[in-house]
Every structure is written in structure tokens, then in C-alpha cells.
Amino acid sequence: MNRLIEVKNSSDAPDQYRGTPIGRLVEYQNHIRPHDSYSSAQILVGMCMDNRKALDVPENFAYILRTGGANMRASEFKISYAIAVGGVHYIAIAGHNHCGMVNLMERKATFIDGLVKGAGWDREKAENHFLNLVPMFEIGNEIDFVLSEVRRLRGEYPKITIAPLLYRIESNHLSFIRE
């Protein structure tokens, strides 16, 4: 089953997101729609901190939270702020393919060596740091993780429209994840 809904024109977006800030986010990123002007944020976008990704959105359009794997578990206060003070009613969680937070255990030696050489840590401290925190940051499969984050956040913020997206590194386009 194809888990992604590619958006090449506005009508490709799922009905519930068409004409919303979520639909416009995808249209901007996929170069379907020219930039509009905004005086306040319309949406919060949670996405990975990966340097290979950049959103092409108008100024003032979005709050953007960047964290490894688009893992929003430690960002609830910031999300609540965007809703309560910023007035947003839409959230997009955008994971991406080829994410470094997948299979972190395979990068254990590289991670530890990098902290020893790059940060001046001793090996034991670096290993303890990795082993203590990897369970919180390992995301498994990118698509499954985004769907689980969207479900979790919908439970926390039931009046907010939240959409699962996947950013494709090769094309710099966003796709909806089929639920």
C-alpha cells in the first residue's frame, strides 16, 4: 500500500486539509501556490532538525519547531504557547525520509567517538549519555513515528487540526501520510 499522498496540485490534498493552513503549507513547499502575505502565524510546523530540509513559506506564516525526528515529546509547552498565545488552530508534523533518528543503535560508536573527539568528553560519559537518552529519541520508522506523534498530539489538543506529512529529501516536497 502506498502510504503517501503526493500533492502536485491543490486538488491532490485530502479534503479535510484543502483551503486550510495545512493545505497552503504543502502548496507553498511544493511550489503550487505563490506566497501570500501574513501578519500572524497560521500554523505550527513540527519538523526534524536535519540540515537537508528547509521550508519555503511566507514570512509570518508559521511557527516552526525543529527537533530530531520531528519528535515533539519535549515541546508541549512551545506547542501550547503557539495555540494559547499565538492563536494557531493547525499543526503539521513533518518527518522526512532518510532520518538520522532511525536505527540510532547502529550509530552508537560514531556518536560516542564524536563526543569524545569533538566535545572532549571521556568515553564513559559519552556512552552513558547515549544509552540513557537513545530510548527517548529513537523514532523507528519515519512514517509510523509521525503517525504516532499526530495521534498523541490529537489526544492532547482535541480542538486543533493536526496533519501527518513526510518531507522528501530528494525533491524538497511535502506529501500527506495516509492514515
Per-residue pLDDT reduced to its tens digit, 94-139:
999 998 999 899 999 999 999 999 999 999 999 999 999 999 899 8
Taking 70 as the pLDDT cut, the residues of the chain under it are 1
Looking at residue 57, its pLDDT comes to 97
pLDDT at residue 162 in the model: 98
- 146 neighbors 70 (Cβ within 8 angstroms): yes
Residue 53 has a pLDDT of 86
pTM (two decimals): 0.93
> What residue spans in the chain does CATH classification 3.40.1050.10 cover?
4-101+140-177
Which CATH superfamily, name and number, covers 4-101+140-177?
Carbonic anhydrase (3.40.1050.10)
Q: Which pLDDT score, from 0 to 100, does residue 8 have?
A: 96
- How many angstroms separate the Cα of 17 from the Cα of each of 50, 68, 114, 120, 121? 26, 25, 42, 48, 47
